[in-house]
């Protein structure tokens, strides 16, 4: 499916808006995960504003595609995306992690429209997504299941058990994105638990594997569209992202994995993001 330059400009601008809201949310909350949330904004934008079949006005639509966030700690990006997509009022984003808020520190299914699964325990989300995809197969449904997994999350053995099951059952209705940003809570992934060669491992587990720039929306859309044409196995998008994308002092810094900005840092972050929009010459405003 061809994507016009105008559509790409809209999507890039939407990702920028989501990043700005992530910074504001984290500042207001005083806690939360910065690096992964910022790094994956392009992926969420591509999914919710171009790739996935879903309806914010009817979130329980039976024929919808489903998305499961397995590395659930980066939920600020999911919440911001859902708000921009129309699942709940944008002003509610500022209640992140506050007492009584529907936007908890990890997603809680049933509290917020658009959430398909509760999250928190690493490794469980991918298992839920595999179960959903298998159920769709058994029920003869044509809807697809999407899931995001963190690269540090792959230290959990349950992740690989789920990969094995999906490959064994040839779940071609499942597309998993691995956020390959190379950082986790305590440092760089290859220092803590070396995982390479990841592409070869996924292929040995029975997956169709696509390596993609996770911060290039056009490339992401192309990869997701290719996944829809694979009929004999599930698809893995090994998405190379920049943790802290768009904020100079956060990029590639493991210490920003689970750290929010303070007031001065948030001001600088928002200035960085505004500069990117200006230098990139992106179209500002909603797509018509």
Rounded Cα distance, 158 and 235, in Å: 18
The pLDDT value recorded for residue 178 is: 98
Residue 280 has pLDDT above 60, yes or no: no
Residue 282 has pLDDT above 50, yes or no: no
Closest CA to 202 of 253, 143, 259, 126: 126
Q: Give the confidence band of 119 by pLDDT, cuts at 50, 70, 90.
A: very high
String of b and e for 247-257 (b: at least 16 CB within 10 Å)?
Answer: beebbeebebb
Q: Percentage of the chain with pLDDT > 90?
A: 91
The pLDDT value recorded for residue 262 is: 95
Rounded Cα distance, 89 and 130, in Å: 31
Fold held by 5-280: Rossmann fold (3.40.50)
Q: What is the pLDDT of residues 88-112, one digit of tens each?
A: 999 999 999 999 999 999 999 989 9
Residue 1 has pLDDT above 80, yes or no: no
Q: Give the confidence band of 185 by pLDDT, cuts at 50, 70, 90.
A: confident
Please answer whether residues 69 and 123 qualify as being in contact, where contact means their C-beta atoms are separated by less than 8 angstroms: no
Q: What is the pLDDT of residues 120-137, one digit of tens each?
A: 899 899 999 999 999 999
Q: What is the pLDDT of residues 228-266, one digit of tens each?
A: 999 999 999 999 999 999 999 999 999 999 999 999 999
Q: Percentage of the chain with pLDDT > 70?
A: 95
Say which residue, 74 or 1, is predicted with more confidence: 74
Closest CA to 146 of 59, 44, 19: 44
Q: How far from chain centre, in Å, is Cα 239?
A: 10
Averaged pLDDT of the chain: 93
The pLDDT value recorded for residue 278 is: 66
Give me the residues paired with residue 210 across strands.
237
Q: What is the pLDDT of residues 190-237, one digit of tens each?
A: 999 999 999 999 999 999 999 999 999 999 999 999 999 999 999 999
Average pLDDT of the residues in 73-90: 97
Residue 287 has pLDDT above 90, yes or no: no
Q: Give the confidence band of 63 by pLDDT, cuts at 50, 70, 90.
A: very high
């Amino acid at each position: 499916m061809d994507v016009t330059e105008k559509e790409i400009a809209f999507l890039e601008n939407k990702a920028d808006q989501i990043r700005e809201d992530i910074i504001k949310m984290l500042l207001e909350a005083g806690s939360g995960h910065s690096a992964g949330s910022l790094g994956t904004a392009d992926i969420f934008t591509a999914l919710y504003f171009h790739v996935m079949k879903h309806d914010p006005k009817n979130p329980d639509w039976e024929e919808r595609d489903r998305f499961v966030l397995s590395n659930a700690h980066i939920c600020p990006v999911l919440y911001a995306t859902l708000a921009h997509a129309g699942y709940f009022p944008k002003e509610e984003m500022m209640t992140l992690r506050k007492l009584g808020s529907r936007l908890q520190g990890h997603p809680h299914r049933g509290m917020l429209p658009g959430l398909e699964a509760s999250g928190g325990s690493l490794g469980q989300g991918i298992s839920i997504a595999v179960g959903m995809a298998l159920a769709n197969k058994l029920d003869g449904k044509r809807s697809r299941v999407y899931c995001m997994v963190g690269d540090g999350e792959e230290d959990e053995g349950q992740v690989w058990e789920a990969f094995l099951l999906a490959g064994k059952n040839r779940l071609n209705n499942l597309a998993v994105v691995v956020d390959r940003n190379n950082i986790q809570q305590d440092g760089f992934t290859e220092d803590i638990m070396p995982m390479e060669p990841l592409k070869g491992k996924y292929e040995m587990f029975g997956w169709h594997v696509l390596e993609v720039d996770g911060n290039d929306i056009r490339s992401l859309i192309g990869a997701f569209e290719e996944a829809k044409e694979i009929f004999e196995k599930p698809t893995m998008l090994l998405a190379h992202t920049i943790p802290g994308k768009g904020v100079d002092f956060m990029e590639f810094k493991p210490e920003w994995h689970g750290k929010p900005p303070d007031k001065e840092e948030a001001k600088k972050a928002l200035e960085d993001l505004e500069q990117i929009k200006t230098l990139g010459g992106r179209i500002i405003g909603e797509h018509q």
